[in-house]
A = this chain, B = another copy of it.
Amino acid sequence: MNLEFFQQILTIVATVTLAFSGVLQAARYQMDFFGALVLAFVSAVGGGTLRDLLIGATPVFWAVDPSYIQIIIPTTVLSILALRFYTPPPKLYLVDVADAAGLALFAILGAQKALSYQLIEPVAVIMGVITGIAGGMIRDVLTPTTPFVMRSEMYALAAIIGVVVYTLVRSYIPETAAMITGMLAIFSLRVAAIYWQIQVPIIKFKDKT
Contacts and interface: CB of A to CB of B under 8 A. Distances in A.
Interface of A: 3, 38, 49, 53-56, 58-60, 62-64, 66, 69, 93, 96-97, 99-101, 103-105, 107-112, 114-115, 117, 119-129, 132-133, 136-137, 140-142, 144-145, 147-150, 155-156, 158-160, 162-164, 166-168, 175-176, 179, 182-187, 190-191, 194
A194 B100 contact: yes
A159 B115 contact: no
A187 B104 contact: yes
Contact of A66 (B66, B123, B127): B123
A140 B133 contact: no
Given A103-B186, A182-B108, A147 B141 contact: yes
13 contacts: A3-B179, A53-B54, A54-B59, A55-B58, A66-B120, A103-B159, A112-B175, A121-B168, A125-B163, A136-B149, A137-B147, A137-B150, A141-B145
B59 A55 contact: yes
Contacts of A150: 137
A111 B163 contact: yes
Contacts of A159: 103, 107, 128-129, 132-133
Contacts of A112: 166, 175, 179
Contacts of A56: 58-60
Among A129, A137, A190, find the residue whose CB has the most chain B CB atoms closer than 10 A. A129
Given A54-B59, A128-B166, 19 more contacts: A55-B59, A62-B123, A63-B114, A97-B194, A100-B191, A100-B194, A103-B155, A103-B158, A104-B162, A107-B162, A111-B163, A112-B175, A121-B167, A129-B156, A133-B155, A133-B159, A136-B148, A141-B141, A141-B145
Among A49, A93, A99, A140, find the residue whose CB has the most chain B CB atoms closer than 10 A. A140
Q: How many copies of this chain?
A: 3
